Structure 1
Amino acid sequence: MSLVRTVSAFVEFINSLFLWKHKLQTSSAFLIFVAVVLTFDLWVVFAFLLSVFMVQYFRNNVGATNQTSPYQVSSEDAVSSDDDEDHVIQDKKGLRQRLQDLYNICLTVQNNLDMVAGLGERVKKWSDLLSQLR
């Protein structure tokens, strides 16, 4: 029932925009629409998806190293401080490895985007060639 009310409220809002019931609201919606239409490109969708994937990657892999509670005492803390120093060195290596993995992922994405751009240029060249033949 809530979905029906939400959809009906959205339809009423759109109808009020088309009927110019509130002139300031309608003109601002129109300006936003024009700005989005003029500035939107297909690459924006891919950039948005890439940013979503990168945020999820950082949340899952990079931010997951310190998930323990600060009040918990691990057995490593009770043994000695030498183990702590070894643990810090391993974390640094882990961070370096993660950054290297991230670099490799970015490089792969860049190479794939370059391949897609090359394909697009070839298609455009062929379409220009075919349009000249007509």
Structure 2
Amino acid sequence: MKNCFEWESKLQSFAALVVWLVLCYYFEPWMVPVGGLLFFLKQYAIKGLAGPQPVPWDETADSDLDDDDDEEKEKEEKKSLKERLQAIQEVTQGVQNAIGRIASLLESIKNTFNFTVPYLSWIAIVLLVLAAVVLYFLPMRYLLMLWGLNKFFRRILRPHSVPNNEVLDLLSRIPDDEMLLDYKDLKLLANTETERRRDPKKKQKAS
């Protein structure tokens, strides 16, 4: 998909653009289950043309399981305990980072509706109103076609532009709960320091 958007192969990108526009224009929701039925029909036709299987599935599965077990034992013997622990730590760190990003994003969305940053919340309100008006007057298929045209022609019309997501950019400017706690702590410390400067007696007692 990225190669199609970057027009590395003009023929491939043009074909992908045409396919996208045709799919968006003629797509109907009932086509999704019909597509699943077509996959079943294809596999059924292949099995019918191939004829009966010479080996029962159970025997094949058992032999495959035995081979897989032998291969897995060999691989496990080759891996050292240190490598396993390192792999587990990397996976755990990746999962924690992903959960942290998702939690931060959800907290930013919550703070958007809480008017934590008022002018950003008002921008979000205006964008929602505009989105509602556009969705009311324009069918979804035309919006998808326009989105596809923008993605495909961005490389041609704006070759030096950096692709970004405006919604995520807006949410990135709204603090999450951890940022708000840090801000409140800093504000409390600043107020305490200001009071100490104003009242030197409190400063002497504190010392």
Fold agreement, TM-score > 0.5: no
Q: When the two structures are superposed, what TM-score results if normalisation uses the length of structure 2?
A: 0.24
* Higher normalized helix content (fraction of residues): 1
Q: When the two structures are superposed, what TM-score results if normalisation uses the length of structure 1?
A: 0.33
Question: Which has more radius of gyration?
Answer: 2
Q: Relative CO higher for 1 or 2, CA cutoff 8 Å, sep ≥ 6?
A: 2
